[in-house]
Amino acid sequence: MILLCDTRQQAGRHDLKEYYWAAHGVEIRRTKLFVGDYTLPTNQSICIDTKKDIQEIVGDICGKQHERFRNECLRAQEAGIKLIVLIEDDTVDENGRYLINDIRDLHKWQNPRKKIRVKRDGQWVQKYPNATSGVSLKKAMITMTVRYGVDFQFVRKKDAGKRILELLGVNNEEGNQ
């Protein structure tokens, strides 16, 4: 089986996924994709855009990358491509349970930038008091889903390779051929 990977994906940053695919007989071919990071050569109506963590999607939706990201979502929508944004997240609570399983859980997420403190005029203050909250991110994602049809999903880093194949409609038996 062949999986197309966008040439803009940084080499060496996706080892867990690539190990999984290699173990399951999936050949990776790098090419420039219209949208997203991964798709199938036989069916490009579904594309997967991966994010290394929640902080990356914050930058894409609520930060300096918003216009670029919105344009990609719009390009997918106009071309009839189902764009799935797969956010790799291993955040756990104090009991070691995974905190974010889907978009409904984002209200539990605490932006680590809110914890950064600096000393100003002899007082310790938040360096980024306006950092995006989980609640704000959740609202923005829902808006992007409604406007552009983007599907936001979450996955553990160790399971991302398998989940990408599932989202593209490939079962493990197909990947082993």
Alpha helices in 24-121 (DSSP H): 54-62, 66-78
- pTM of this prediction exceeds 0.75: yes
Q: With contact defined as beta carbons under 8 Å apart, do 175 and 21 qualify?
A: yes
In a domain, 157, yes or no: yes
In a domain, 98, yes or no: no
Task: Say how many domains are in the chain.
Answer: 1
Supply the pLDDT for residue 116: 83
Rounded-to-integer distance, Cα 88 and Cα 21, Å: 17
In a domain, 166, yes or no: yes
pLDDT confidence tier of residue 57, bands split at 50, 70 and 90: very high
Amino acid letter, residue 41: P
Average pLDDT over residues 48-52: 96
Supply the pLDDT for residue 124: 86
Which residues form the domain of 141? Answer: 2-90+133-175
In a domain, 22, yes or no: yes
Rounded-to-integer distance, Cα 153 and Cα 102, Å: 6
Q: With contact defined as beta carbons under 8 Å apart, do 51 and 86 qualify?
A: yes
How far is residue 18 CA from its own chain's centroid? 16
In a domain, 124, yes or no: no
In a domain, 119, yes or no: no
pLDDT in tens, 61-96: 999 999 999 999 999 999 999 999 999 999 888 888
In a domain, 51, yes or no: yes
Residue 162 corresponds to which tokens in the numbers above? 């398998």
Residue 102 backbone dihedrals phi, psi, to 5 degrees: -160, 180
In a domain, 168, yes or no: yes
* Residue 172: its H or E element: helix 172-175
Q: Give Rg (Cα) of the chain.
A: 18
More confident residue, 122 or 137: 137
Q: Which of 36, 57, 54 shows the shortest CA–CA distance to 45?
A: 36
CATH number of the domain enclosing 168: 3.40.50.10130
Secondary structure (3-state) at 31: strand
